[in-house]
């Protein structure tokens, strides 16, 4: 199969490109490189530098490369920034996705796998969260993902577009080879920040609140390894092209929550020395627990995560950051 990976030079995209190649598929990456890195891509993956806001560019890529399916990762992803610059998020994430959908149905009507997020649920009492939990996103970022999901459903109903939507929980870790990993310009994710603190790039870790109604008082999250998540995309795209799936939405997580303190303890164990930390006030908008009910993707796609041990997950992130303390710049 040949897969067009839109946003394939980013963190999750580049791991998915690697797993697609390992599964024997051809890959073409369409990316504006606004946050992705050409260095994260294997030489066998063709790179088309283009932007989804340029309708002609994505249509031209579909016509030129004749893919069998599209995986769509391209999006702005910072919750805080989305609240300060909503227009940028609606334009880039919603209009960009609309352009892609329109280009697909006008050229080839091939299946689509879409990157969505647990942020579509917002604060929910459901533990774990099933796919049919109410969706009340609390950020513009989450809204843009939900709006894109709605557009995909409409294109499916009106024009028969086959799709799989994957709602990611807390994506983390890096390729075990240590050559690609998380490399966002702005750092906010717990494991990445802890690794950079262990490398001395930051003074200390702040634990955002230890008075939550959880066993140790810190927030629980479902940490899914980026390579397992990449494999979920391979399973989804293969099921769509084979025709065993037409329209499905899946949570992707382990179905188990780890607390902030447990994550920092795992970092200490991997690094071999305690990472300096102190308790700070709660961060606005953090729900106490976000854990996936991931039964559906296991049953229907045969998703079987390989990285279920927290220390092993952290170990892969640590290797990447240790070898590339300044991301792809060194």
Which residue, 13, 82, 84, is CA-closest to 47? 13
Is position 206 an interface residue for ligand UFG (rule: CB under 6 A)?
yes
Q: Does 189 bind ligand UFG (CB under 6 A)?
A: yes
By beta-carbon proximity to ligand UFG, the closer residue of 26 and 286 is 286
> What would the x/- binding string for ligand UFG be over residues 220 to 249, using CB under 6 A?
-x----------------------------
Least Cβ distance, residue 109 to ligand UFG (angstroms): 30
Q: Which stretch binds ligand UFG (CB under 6 A): 52-60, 62-70, 91-99, 206-214?
A: 206-214
* Shortest separation between residue 170's beta carbon and ligand UFG, angstroms: 4
Q: Which of 51, 55, 286, 300 binds ligand UFG (CB under 6 A)?
A: 286
Closer to ligand UFG by Cβ: residue 89 or 155: 89
Q: Which stretch binds ligand UFG (CB under 6 A): 26-34, 154-162, 201-209, 307-315?
A: 201-209
CB of 221 to ligand UFG, least distance (A): 5
Which candidate, 238, 10, 198, 148, places its Cα nearest to that of 190?
Answer: 198
Stretch that binds ligand UFG, among 85-93, 183-191, 240-248, 310-318 (CB under 6 A): 183-191
* 208 sits near ligand UFG (criterion: CB under 6 A): yes
Distance of CA 187 to the CA centre of its chain: 15
Q: In whole angstroms, how close is the CB of 118 to ligand UFG at the nearest point?
A: 4
In order of 33, 34, 183, the CA distances from 167 in angstroms are: 23, 23, 21
17 binds ligand UFG (CB under 6 A): no
Between 111 and 255, whose beta carbon lies closer to ligand UFG? 255
Number of Cβ atoms within 10 Å of the Cβ of 323: 13
Is 117 an interacting residue with respect to ligand UFG (CB under 6 A)?
Answer: yes
Q: Which of 28, 94, 164, 207 binds ligand UFG (CB under 6 A)?
A: 207
Decide if residue 169 touches ligand UFG (CB under 6 A): yes
| Rounded least distance, CB 278 to ligand UFG, Å | 10
**Minimal distance in Å, beta carbon 142 to ligand UFG?**
7
Among the listed ranges 21-29, 44-52, 55-63, 112-120, the one in contact with ligand UFG (CB under 6 A) is 112-120
Q: Which residues lie near ligand UFG (CB under 6 A)?
A: 117-119, 169-170, 188-190, 193, 205-208, 219, 221, 260, 283, 286, 290
């Amino acid at each position: 199969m040949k897969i067009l990976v839109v946003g394939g030079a980013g963190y999750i995209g580049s791991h998915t490109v690697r797993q697609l190649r390992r599964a024997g598929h051809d890959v073409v990456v369409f990316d504006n490189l606004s946050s992705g890195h050409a260095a994260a891509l294997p030489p066998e993956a063709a790179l088309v530098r283009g932007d989804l806001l340029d309708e002609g560019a994505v249509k031209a890529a579909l016509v030129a490369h004749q893919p069998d399916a599209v995986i769509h990762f391209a999006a702005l992803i910072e919750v805080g920034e989305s609240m300060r610059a909503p227009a940028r998020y609606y334009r880039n994430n919603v209009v960009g996705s609309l352009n892609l959908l329109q280009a697909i149905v006008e050229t080839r009507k091939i299946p689509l796998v879409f990157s969505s997020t647990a942020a579509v649920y917002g604060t929910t009492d459901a533990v774990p969260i099933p796919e049919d939990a109410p969706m009340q996103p609390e950020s513009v970022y989450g809204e843009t993902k939900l709006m894109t999901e709605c557009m995909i459903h409409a294109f499916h109903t009106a024009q028969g577009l086959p799709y799989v939507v994957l709602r990611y929980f807390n994506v983390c870790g890096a390729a075990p080879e240590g050559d690609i990993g998380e490399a966002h310009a702005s750092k906010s994710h717990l494991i990445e920040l802890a690794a950079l603190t262990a490398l001395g790039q930051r003074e200390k870790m702040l634990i955002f609140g230890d008075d939550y109604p959880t066993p140790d008082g810190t927030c629980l999250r479902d940490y899914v390894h980026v390579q397992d998540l990449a494999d979920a995309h391979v399973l989804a795209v293969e099921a769509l092209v084979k025709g065993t799936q037409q329209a499905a939405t899946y949570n992707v997580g382990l179905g188990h929550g780890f607390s902030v303190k447990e994550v920092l303890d795992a970092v200490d164990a991997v690094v071999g020395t305690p990472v300096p930390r102190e308790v700070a006030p709660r961060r606005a908008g953090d729900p106490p627990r976000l854990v996936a009910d991931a039964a559906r993707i296991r049953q229907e796609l045969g998703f079987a995560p390989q990285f279920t041990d927290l220390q092993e997950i952290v170990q892969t992130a640590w290797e990447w950051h240790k070898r590339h303390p300044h991301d792809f710049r060194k």
